[in-house]
Structure 1
Amino acid sequence: MRGFDPKWCDVPHYIIGITKQIWEDREIGALRHLYAPGLIVRSPASVVRENSNVIAATMATLAEFPDRELLGEDVIWCEDEQGATDTSDAFLSSHRLICTATHSHPGVYGAPTGRRVTYRILADCAIRDGAVYDEWLVRDQSAIVTQMGFDQVDWTRELITREGGPEQCVKPMTPANDVAGPYDRPGNDNEWGQRYADVLGSIMAANMDVIPRAYDRAVELHYPGGQDGLGWGDADRFWMGLRAAFPTADFKIEHVVGRDDPLMPPRAAVRWSLHGRHSGWGRFGQPTGADIYVMGISHCDFGPFGGAGQWGQPTVRREFTLIDETAIWKQILLQTGDHE
């Protein structure tokens, strides 16, 4: 990889390696060169600019969760030829990891609870010259707060208060406060990525009958709130509940990567968004009419057992989808005035 430290064998080795280097080996200062100047990190909860602010946020997290470990599950990546230079290659990686930590000190999550938490993160990173220069990240916040023993709506309401109230609190990411970054490519045109993007598009177009055709009957499912599921019924309940809450929201595929690597099943990573009114009953309760932006990232593995009437055709064997439910509740609470 041109422009990268030769100790990294490939993109997954780099992504998993620097994650451990920063968080577990405590080389937080390495962010000054592992993250490029002007970096933009977008999460549903906020938009952070400049690696100095990322360093501050990293230290705050480690102060609150000093034993935090980040276990890399997979890196689904593609080359970015348009972003490359004469001296450096460029890539887009979609990284899936499991975090374990103990809430042992006060911080963003409030007074220490002593609770042990386990949750997933999905992150898309644009990389060039051995540094991340653009990033999109979704953390399973609702899994964290529920494992601490909180109701996620009550916790979000208290967060608004801790941050100074509705005027001063950190605003969730929306198109209004997003910052356009240098990476604006759509990913690659690998068949597995396109197949999965088509499945998600069908679901969001209310064609829920695609699930028994496109998913393995024994599909393994991992959804927000740390919810694990199995089979067509659980897939239908999650996606139906999400889409039903925002039935008229615009669905957009933001980025697609497909991979087929040795020793791995064919895989796909899709970053997507929903933007529109909370106008339906579903995963977020009584409709409020709030204008909501949802950033989601989904990973899947494909397997050989076809769905209903499709035996022998590839289907989704494992699916991992994250949205930040607390960021959605924060948007709802701020717009409805129900934040006290």
Structure 2
Amino acid sequence: MEITPTAYAPFESPEEYILRWTDQIWEEYGLGRLHEHYAPDMVVHGAYGPIRGMETVLRGSLVKKGAFPNRIGTAEDVICESRGENAFISHHRVFHSGPQQGIWSYGPPSVRNSESRNIAICLVKDGLVVEEWVVRDEYRVVTTLGYDPEEVARTLAFTDEPEGLFGTTAPADVVRLGESGPRPETHEAEASFIREFLDEVWGKRHLERVPEFTQRDLFLETTRARVHTRAKNYQIDLNQMLAPFPDATIEVRDIAVNTADEQGTRIGVLWRLNGTYDGAPLYGPVTHSPIEILGSSQFLLRKGKIIREWRVFDEVAVMAQVAKARGDEPVAG
């Protein structure tokens, strides 16, 4: 199903809708135009729980823009797919770079350059964003600014958490119906392929099957700006990601697929990890406490197999949950 033009009007394409609105709000200081871009009762899902309402988003955006007035977000890719009449989903992968020149919740201006990758997933209906899932590599932000991730995590450990990051059960058949609504019948084979890869390799721990799903010259770009190549190093990284939470379950919450002549077939995935921090002490002494991770991956296929993955999740949010379980007191500012 093609995306209805009225869903992204007055722009020429859904990709242009996402890119132009991003520039108008952030590059051109059009923060007040959020009223034209977001539905009043929209919800943003993040690593620390949902943010409800456009006005709340606007207040937070003003604070962040004050801290990073010259931060530039460069689009690496925008994966768009129809979500029924007059609606579409977009997976926008962005590389952010710029100095912290104003006060921020982490501390006073560091004047150091922050760089990180985000993935923003927007559900657009009738020209307005009605729901969004934002995934950030906040560990990379914190360390490039010169802050201590553990100290920052302790300041976030006592923020109010809702009952889970989604508040809903995982979709029964995400290939047909995910968090963002019913998928079109197009690209069903590619969506099923990625779901099987995540279910079998990530979920059931069949890491030996990685070569079945990937090309020889596989690239993985993941948190902390780490890059791994080939199937063997992918297996090592995935093992190390799961090792702190040996009982982790992986839920595939949403899938979007798009094929373009110049970019090939790309697949955007929204996923959640639920587990217990009782394995490898990557984030300090184990606490035997529950951990929930909101994550997103984008995959590029070549000849039907994975050649690249970009994986983003917030490790500072994990550390905040660990700090809360330990009963750590926030560090005095």
Return the TM-score normalized by structure 2: 0.88
Whole-Å separation in 2 of the counterparts to 1:237 and 1:149: 28
**Does structure 2 retain, via aligned residues, the 8 Å contact 1:36–1:132?**
yes
SS of residue paired to 2:296: strand
Residue 201 of structure 1 aligns with which residue?
199
**Does structure 2 retain, via aligned residues, the 8 Å contact 1:193–1:270?**
no
Matched, 1:290 2:289: yes
The code of the aligned residue for 1:233 comes to K
> Can you list the C-alpha shifts for 1:10-67, whole angstroms capped at 9, x where unaligned?
1111111111111001111111120001010011033211111111111111100000
> Can you list the C-alpha shifts for 1:144-196, whole angstroms capped at 9, x where unaligned?
01112233223212x24xxxxx6xx423565178489x965264552222212
The code of the aligned residue for 1:318 comes to R
Whole-Å separation in 2 of the counterparts to 1:32 and 1:275: 35
**Does structure 2 retain, via aligned residues, the 8 Å contact 1:173–1:293?**
no
Residue 185 of structure 1 aligns with which residue?
181
TM-superposed deviation, 1:283? 4.4
SS of residue paired to 1:91: strand
Matched, 1:325 2:333: no
TM-superposed deviation, 1:327? 0.6
Q: 2:129 aligns with which of 127, 132, 138?
A: 132
Matched, 1:273 2:272: yes
Residue 259 of structure 2 aligns with which residue?
260
Deviates most, 239-248 or 228-237: 228-237
- Tell me, which stretches of 5 or more residues in structure 2 are unaligned? 170-177
**Does structure 1 retain, via aligned residues, the 8 Å contact 2:34–2:58?**
yes
Residue 69 of structure 2 aligns with which residue?
66
Whole-Å separation in 2 of the counterparts to 1:323 and 1:244: 16
Whole-Å separation in 1 of the counterparts to 2:212 and 2:180: 32
Residue 244 of structure 1 aligns with which residue?
243
Residue 171 of structure 1 aligns with which residue?
160
TM-superposed deviation, 1:207? 0.3
The code of the aligned residue for 1:54 comes to V
Q: 1:11 aligns with which of 14, 18, 28?
A: 14
Matched, 1:150 2:139: no
Whole-Å separation in 2 of the counterparts to 1:11 and 1:69: 21
Query: What is the aligned-residue RMSD (CA, Å)?
Result: 2.2
> Can you list the C-alpha shifts for 1:285-330, whole angstroms capped at 9, x where unaligned?
54321111111100010123xxxxxxxxx32111101110011111
SS of residue paired to 2:77: strand
How many residues align? The count is 316
SS of residue paired to 2:199: helix
Whole-Å separation in 2 of the counterparts to 1:5 and 1:301: 25
Instruction: Provide closer, same or farther for how the CA distance between residues 211 and 177 of structure 1 changes in structure 2, counting only shifts above 3 A.
Output: closer
Whole-Å separation in 2 of the counterparts to 1:260 and 1:140: 26
Whole-Å separation in 1 of the counterparts to 2:139 and 2:117: 11
The code of the aligned residue for 1:135 comes to E
TM-superposed deviation, 1:2? 4.3
The code of the aligned residue for 2:286 comes to P
What is the percent sequence identity of the aligned residues? 24
**Does structure 1 retain, via aligned residues, the 8 Å contact 2:89–2:180?**
no
Whole-Å separation in 1 of the counterparts to 2:160 and 2:231: 36
Residue 116 of structure 2 aligns with which residue?
119
**Does structure 2 retain, via aligned residues, the 8 Å contact 1:92–1:187?**
no
> Can you list the C-alpha shifts for 1:115-161, whole angstroms capped at 9, x where unaligned?
1122111111110111100011101100101112233223212x24x
The code of the aligned residue for 2:181 comes to R
Instruction: Provide closer, same or farther for how the CA distance between residues 75 and 216 of structure 1 changes in structure 2, counting only shifts above 3 A.
Output: same
- Tell me, which stretches of 5 or more residues in structure 1 are unaligned? 161-165, 305-313
Residue 56 of structure 2 aligns with which residue?
53
Instruction: Provide closer, same or farther for how the CA distance between residues 240 and 186 of structure 1 changes in structure 2, counting only shifts above 3 A.
Output: farther
The code of the aligned residue for 1:226 comes to A
TM-superposed deviation, 1:282? 6.1
Q: How does 1:210-249 map to 2 (within 5 A)?
A: 210-249=209-248
Instruction: Provide closer, same or farther for how the CA distance between residues 58 and 201 of structure 1 changes in structure 2, counting only shifts above 3 A.
Output: same
